[in-house]
């Protein structure tokens, strides 16, 4: 065979279909933007209609979005939206909720403890780890330079 | 049994007596609609897990093949099977209830021709009269083992393939009528450094080219149809290019089961079908019937496998490919 590990990559690149970056970016903007818009509407409703303070409305909005995402994941709709919206469905907090609920659902057949509980953070684990770690660093810096 | 090069010549008759195919609903709506013996309505088939559904497919394929031909266990010498799951779960658990002497093999998506090739050698060696070869794959059980949870919202790469939900059982015998296995070429592992688990077609194409070209050189047979297992659009194009560069173009008589089982333009499967069930169900439902109806007389059937391990991929390893060829003649 005339191909080896060095020259085969060119052949692979020649025949591998490219991702439609422009279309994906546009869809991510629309879907991600829509989720943020929904978040803003919920937030403003809490503040304007229910008279909740800005500081309290913000985490409550996150809770509602996470809840909606979990329900959509359970109904089997979130992955269909994710297929079209791409990063727009992954990056917002709803994507984080989806990454927790989807393994939870998938592993429930292996039992509650060693299935669901052991695997629930399989995808979200790295996000949590780096989230905690970076907040620790930021906290440390703010304490040092206050 | 003799050898030419590294190809085994099957001296006595090894006849493919019959097949039985079960396909998932997406496969049942594809270009091979109406050709499968059974099509499932959903991906669980009244079971509570996808893994149980997959082993039920294997078990039912063998049982229905036996019933269709009034075969009884006393007349079957051996069951050879394999699948994609860890510890070849579907095969061993299906065999648990089939009560036949059992050999479990792992060849990833190359399993159909691997089991049939082994069966042919065992029959030709005079050790068995009737052998049943069976394999299966299931989209959901494969996805969760090799990739991400199904409900995870994200996008698949355009070169990714869709694991076929399906199973096929094949009855090989040393007597009776039907297409015969004449030559068997077992593949060498070929790995040209593809590390992208979303581009299995490209990872397997060099192995397919290697086995096909060795088989064609060893036998010198002019086949009516050459079919690979699950290279999909990407791998198929690469194999064509490699043969074109040798000035031995096979394009006019070459196809791939991954692009036969699904309509790649309409069924949203990206580069095509994959999995053990891909070449198995396409052979059992479509290619075998073509041989029976004399539409083709000489078929080179080559299942292709990406011997991919998620652990090895995470450790930076590339994906070893393999392809096993069967020369089948009417």
DSSP result, B260-283: HSS-TTTS--TT-EESHHHHHHHI
How confident is the model over A91-115, as pLDDT tens digits? 999 999 999 999 999 999 999 999 9
d(CA B25, CA B39): 6
Q: How far is CA B312 from the centre of its chain?
A: 23
- The model's pTM is 0.94
**pLDDT (tens place) for every residue of chain B, 330 residues total:** 578 889 999 999 999 999 999 999 999 999 999 999 999 999 999 999 999 999 999 999 999 999 999 999 999 999 999 999 999 999 999 999 999 999 999 999 999 999 999 999 999 999 999 999 999 999 999 999 998 888 888 888 999 999 999 999 999 999 999 999 999 999 999 999 999 999 999 999 999 999 999 999 999 999 999 999 999 999 999 999 999 999 999 999 999 999 999 999 999 999 999 999 999 999 999 999 999 999 999 999 999 999 999 999 999 999 999 999 999 999
State the nearest Cα–Cα gap between B318 and chain A, in angstroms. Answer: 10
Mean pLDDT of A119-136: 95
Task: Tell me the pairing of strands B7-9 and B180-185.
Answer: antiparallel
| CATH for the B12-173 domain, from 3.10.105.10, 1.10.10.1110, 3.50.50.60, 3.40.47.40 | 3.40.47.40
Q: What is the DSSP string of A76-121?
A: T-HHHHHHHHTHHHHSSHHHHHHHHHHHHHHTGGG-IIIIIIHHTT
Best mutation target among B141, B145, B149, B212 (most A Cβ atoms within 10 Å) is B149
CB contact under 8 A, B271 and A98: no
Q: Same fold for the domain at B12-173 and the one at B180-329?
A: yes
What 3-state class would DSSP assign to B303?
strand
Q: Which of A5, A101, A106 sits opposite B193 (nearest CB)?
A: A5
Q: CA distances (Å), B101 to each of A25, B86, B92, B127, B133, in order?
A: 56, 21, 11, 13, 12
Q: How far is CA B22 from the centre of its chain?
A: 13
Question: Which pLDDT score is estimated for B282?
Answer: 98
Angle A78-85/A21-48 helices, nearest 10 degrees?
130
d(CA A120, CA B207): 38
Question: Which pLDDT score is estimated for A1?
Answer: 78
Task: Tell me the pairing of strands B273-274 and B7-9.
Answer: unpaired
State the nearest Cα–Cα gap between A146 and chain B, in angstroms. Answer: 41
Domain layout of chain B by residue ranges: 12-173, 180-329
What pLDDT band is residue A128 in, cutting at 50, 70 and 90? very high
Q: Which of A5, A8, A79 sits opposite B151 (nearest CB)?
A: A79
Three-class SS of B47-95: CCCHHHHHHHHHHHHHHHHHHHCCCCHHHCCEEEEEECCHHHHHHHHHH
Question: Which pLDDT score is estimated for A102?
Answer: 96
Q: Which of A1, A89, A123 sits opposite B209 (nearest CB)?
A: A1
Count of Cβ atoms closer than 10 Å to residue A114 Cβ: 10
CB contact under 8 A, B194 and A109: no
DSSP state of B189: P
CB contact under 8 A, A99 and B48: no
The CATH number of the domain covering residues in B180-329: 3.40.47.40
Question: Which pLDDT score is estimated for B1?
Answer: 59
How confident is the model over A20-58, as pLDDT tens digits? 899 999 999 999 999 999 999 999 999 999 999 999 999
Question: Which pLDDT score is estimated for B187?
Answer: 97
- Report ipTM for this prediction: 0.90
């Amino acid at each position: 065979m005339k191909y080896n590990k060095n020259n085969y990559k060119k052949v692979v690149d020649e025949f591998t279909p490219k991702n439609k970056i422009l279309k994906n970016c546009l869809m991510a903007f629309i879907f991600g933007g829509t989720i943020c818009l929904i978040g803003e509407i919920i937030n403003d409703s809490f503040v304007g209609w229910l008279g909740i303070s800005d500081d309290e409305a913000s985490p409550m909005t996150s809770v509602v979005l996470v809840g909606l995402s979990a329900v959509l994941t359970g109904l089997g709709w979130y992955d269909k939206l994710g297929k079209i919206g791409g990063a727009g469905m992954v990056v917002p907090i709803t994507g984080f909720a989806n990454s927790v609920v989807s393994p939870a659902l998938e592993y429930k057949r292996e039992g509650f403890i060693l299935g669901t509980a052991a695997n629930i953070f399989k995808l979200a684990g790295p996000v949590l780890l780096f989230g905690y770690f970076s907040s620790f660093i930021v906290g440390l810096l703010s304490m040092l330079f206050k | 049994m003799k050898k030419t090069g590294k190809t085994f010549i099957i001296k006595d008759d090894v006849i493919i007596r019959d097949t039985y195919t079960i396909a998932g609903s997406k496969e049942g709506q594809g270009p091979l609609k109406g050709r499968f013996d059974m099509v499932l309505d959903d991906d669980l088939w009244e079971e509570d897990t996808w893994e149980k559904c997959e082993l039920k497919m294997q078990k039912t394929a063998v049982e229905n093949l036996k019933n269709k031909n009034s075969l009884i266990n006393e007349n079957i010498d051996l069951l050879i099977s394999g699948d994609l799951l860890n510890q070849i779960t579907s095969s061993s658990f299906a065999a648990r209830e089939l009560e036949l002497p059992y050999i479990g093999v792992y060849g990833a998506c190359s399993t159909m021709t691997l089991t049939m090739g082994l069966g042919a050698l065992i029959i030709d060696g005079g050790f068995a009269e009737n052998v049943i070869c069976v394999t299966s794959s299931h989209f959901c059980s494969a996805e969760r083992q090799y990739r991400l949870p199904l409900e995870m919202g994200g996008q698949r790469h355009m070169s990714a393939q869709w694991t076929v939900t399906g199973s096929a059982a094949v009855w090989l015998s040393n007597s009776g009528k039907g297409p015969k296995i004449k030559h068997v070429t077992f593949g060498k592992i070929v790995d040209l450094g593809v590390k992208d688990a979303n581009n299995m077609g490209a990872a397997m194409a060099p192995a397919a080219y290697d086995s096909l070209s060795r088989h064609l050189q060893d036998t010198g047979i002019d086949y009516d149809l050459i079919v690979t297992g699950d290279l999909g659009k990407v791998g198929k194009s690469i194999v064509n290019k490699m043969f074109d560069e040798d000035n031995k173009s096979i394009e006019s008589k070459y196809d791939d089961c991954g692009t036969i089982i699904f309509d790649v333009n309409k069924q949203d499967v990206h580069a095509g079908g994959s999995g053990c069930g891909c070449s198995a169900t396409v052979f059992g439902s479509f290619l075998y019937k073509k041989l029976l109806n004399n539409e083709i007389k000489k078929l080179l059937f080559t299942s292709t496998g990406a011997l991919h391990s998620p652990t090895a991929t995470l450790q930076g390893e590339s994906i070893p490919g393999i392809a096993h060829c069967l020369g089948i003649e009417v």
